[in-house]
Amino acid sequence: MAEEQEQSSFGAESEAGQEAAENEGAPFPVDGDSQKRLTDMFSQQEPPLFVAAEDIVSKPNEAMPFDGVLEDDLMFPPFGVVKKRRGLAVLKVCLWILSVLLAATAVLFVHQIILRNVSGSVKRDNEKIPYNRTQTSYAEDNSLPDAPQVSADPDGPQISTVSQDPSIRTNTANAAFKKAAPSVVCITSYKSGSDYVMSKIGEGSGIILSKDGYIATNSHVVDDSVSTGVMVTVYDGSQYLGTVIGVDKKTDLAVLKIDGKDLTPAEFSDTDKLFVGQEVYAIGNPGGANFSNSMTKGTVSAVDRVLASNGYVRYIQTDAPINPGNSGGALINESGQVIGMNTSKIVSTNYEGMGFSIPGNKVAEIINELIKYGYVSNRAVIGIEGTTCNLYESKLKNIPQGMVITNIGTDSPLLATDVRECEVRV
């Protein structure tokens, strides 16, 4: 009897628990304490992804044995197919990448639509826009009037010319050129003893000094040698063979002579009062005889410039364009007077408009000596070339420190002594 009551009590509790479980959506009947335990445990760990209802094995209205202790096999029955978390993570990454690609595609699409609306249309590089004679612009603005419908007209306006104002030839630059240009010549140099045909060295410019044909130029124009052959072309196109009288490599000046008559000598100006900003002109033969008697314009950029290549001359710096072939030509002032001899320029992609001329006073000083003596008489001459041997080279080559003589000139007084090339002089 007691057992029947106990079973009835247990059945009642089971029915009550089953009814409560159905109300709460639980998968199997539990009492109040078990329900509390289930709630606590599920709150501490993640629930399964899904549970198939048909996989829950339970007979309706059948009491399940329960002794007050929940077993693991009752807590986690075989719920069926549950996807693993790794697969879920991969799915999430794939969905994220897909969403980013879709968003980027949408942004690009909207961007193209905006560009088309702003610019009207997108023209490809190789696409030609059809031309319409009546349209005046490719823009979408239609407020402009249409182009006129016209064709060639025999009675249309014609261009006519009038005589140039004669007073324009009296301007300063033209007047200076007319005065100085007849005194500037083109010099073509040839190797010594050549036939003047097959051995041309180069071309440059020169300045006429006298009516009978003394001409000043740069020493490098005549290859720094009195034996160089020269041919001179004067302003009117006449040509003369010439002879080099003297050269001075230290100042890059030389004198030659032709058998001329009634030539136009240049007028030299005192350059001691030359100032920065003064307007000057360069006359010469840039590129040789093909561009003879060319004039360029500039200003005096600086005076008394010392170049590392030559310490004997203080140059005039100018921005008047100087090119190969201008060497030996004249730098003149607004009065057509020679204020310098164009000799060099800085050639570099980093520099522009930096030309240099030997001042007229220095030209007169050296040229007068060369005409008289063939060399500069008041200058001490040793006639040798050399280089210094420092302490490092002395230790490396086991030679004494001093000057190594590399060349003895043909006019050197040392030829009469025991001094020889490649010797070291302390």
* Calpha distance 380→122 (Å, rounded): 80
Sign (positive/negative) of CA torsion 316, 318, 320, 322? positive
* Calpha distance 266→215 (Å, rounded): 10
CA 410 to chain centre: 48
Question: Would residue 220 show up in a list of annotated catalytic residues for this protein?
Answer: yes
Q: Which of 34, 219, 220, 269 is catalytic?
A: 220
DSSP string, 353-400: S-EEEEEHHHHHHHHHHHHHHSS-TTS----EEEEEE-HHHHHHHT--
Question: Would residue 252 show up in a list of annotated catalytic residues for this protein?
Answer: yes
Residue 362 CB neighbours (<10 A): 20
What ranges in 120-267 are assigned the alpha helix state H?
Answer: 172-180
Residue 363, classified by CB atoms within 10 Å of its CB into exposed (0-12), middle (13-18) or buried (19+), is buried
Return the SS3 of 189: strand
CA dihedral 367, 373, 377, 380 (to 10 degrees): 110
* Calpha distance 288→286 (Å, rounded): 5
* Calpha distance 255→372 (Å, rounded): 10
Q: Which of 34, 205, 252, 294 is catalytic?
A: 252
* Calpha distance 234→264 (Å, rounded): 10
Return the SS3 of 245: strand
- Give the count of alpha carbons within 13 A of 147, CB side only: 11
Give the single-character DSSP code of 133: T
Residue 426 CB neighbours (<10 A): 7
* Calpha distance 348→355 (Å, rounded): 12
How many angstroms separate the Cα of 100 from the Cα of each of 64, 93, 104, 131, 218? Answer: 53, 11, 6, 44, 76
Q: Which residues are catalytic?
A: 220, 252, 327
